[in-house]
Structure 1
């Protein structure tokens, strides 16, 4: 699968061996049609220079023992690098096997480890691959200047065109029907399956509908499918989109203090009024507040000429008042690096 190949690792094996050594009785056989053999081939398909992160590293050269179709050792071959290892694994016949002599010493996340059996090797490789899949999933979700548009795969299309904006601190914003919900998220493995845990703050029906460990399938770097027992969605990445009231999100470049920007609310008022009502000749009184209670009570209004955020991203409550209605709208303000393109 293309996605998995992007994050597969380089491997080298630290084994003391020489060309003339006798066959070691501690050799453990690995059948070509086994899951462990497939994992070895998978994890060795990407060379060091193409691997951004290596969570399991062995050191070349090392000795591979070769078995014939009757299960007997027929010889051995020393491999010097990843290319040779991949070639050797591809040449072994389907009904044959290879053998490794334990213990194997290597490094995982900077720590020295000793692997003493095929079982331990399998566990180590699987944990490594899972870690890389999680990291890859996080990287594509956290990509700056991108939001994820939701489309239902079932008849229930109430959340079609809702949006998720993921941040690299484990928070997100869920945009739906003119409202925004502060969200936390984490990707994880449960019973050997990738999941995306999503948790919206509050007790709204929207939160109840979305607060799950969603089973996640990475279709490609722009598309992820998430499912639970009752719902199934495709979330599609959209990048470099200009500020739009459909997102109820406004971004400004940070200034002297990292992750803090100056927000001129006066510049947003026309945009906010445009999605509160389609009638253009209505006069609005708009005020901005840090809490829902302040917006409801029309107290502690923020200056519309300059406001510095206290969190990033931060929810702001906008009170929109006419002669006949009072509506409170949530927006999100985000301070972003001036080196990045604004959405």
Structure 2
């Protein structure tokens, strides 16, 4: 039996296999073969190109990190990020603590003000970056490299405000509804914060005037009961006066429909014997959310109709 040879192609069944053997005759990697007669101490020298290639293969692409600030700690599509940065040169084996230390040094911030989140999920220090992925849209971990957010430390205590789904907070785009859901707003407040100041924070977030807010707090003083609801009806009282920092589970938000005299507030469009009355100036309720399609200012796009119909698309393709 003849000896196998790359050059002669002995053992190759056809020309194609011989070409493949010829192609992979040399080593298929970036390392260069050193001279066997080289001194032993020179053998230990590493080529700079090899080091660079090895590092780039190990490290992740730059990780984008956004920073929040202020008392509003809610994470959703309306959250404002005054600052963002990219963290290059970090391994997937690095922990969240390693990332926090790197960010604290780069941004010249105390480590306590670097708290890493993915969506609404707080990432613990022992978690590794390669674990920060989940193929679940909306989880906050469905991007790679992960998109992370940094929140500062809590100055007072976090207060959760539950806002029900309503037309006032619905989102519309060109006559089509794109958002209608309950919201869980989170604010960093102090025990000395007044109800009026809390309403101001909510007004900035929701766009609903503070005088229309009706707030009630769920206080749970014992784990053996569901708790009780207390109306926050005095704007000058502090949160500590209601013991919210001790027992508050959450605050329920409602929009008051009447004024101080008990009269109904017409803050939306309506019909009467005189005809149609449009929304008053400065109204925060999206006009497209009005269900009446007969009104003169109705959007030409009917939200009940699909964006396109199969027959229409086929007709357009033929033309």
TM-score bin (small chain): under 0.3
The TM-score, its normalising length taken from structure 1, stands at 0.24
The TM-score, its normalising length taken from structure 2, stands at 0.25
Query: Which of structures 1 and 2 has the bigger CA Rg?
Result: 2
Q: Write 1 or 2 for the structure with the bigger share of strand.
A: 1
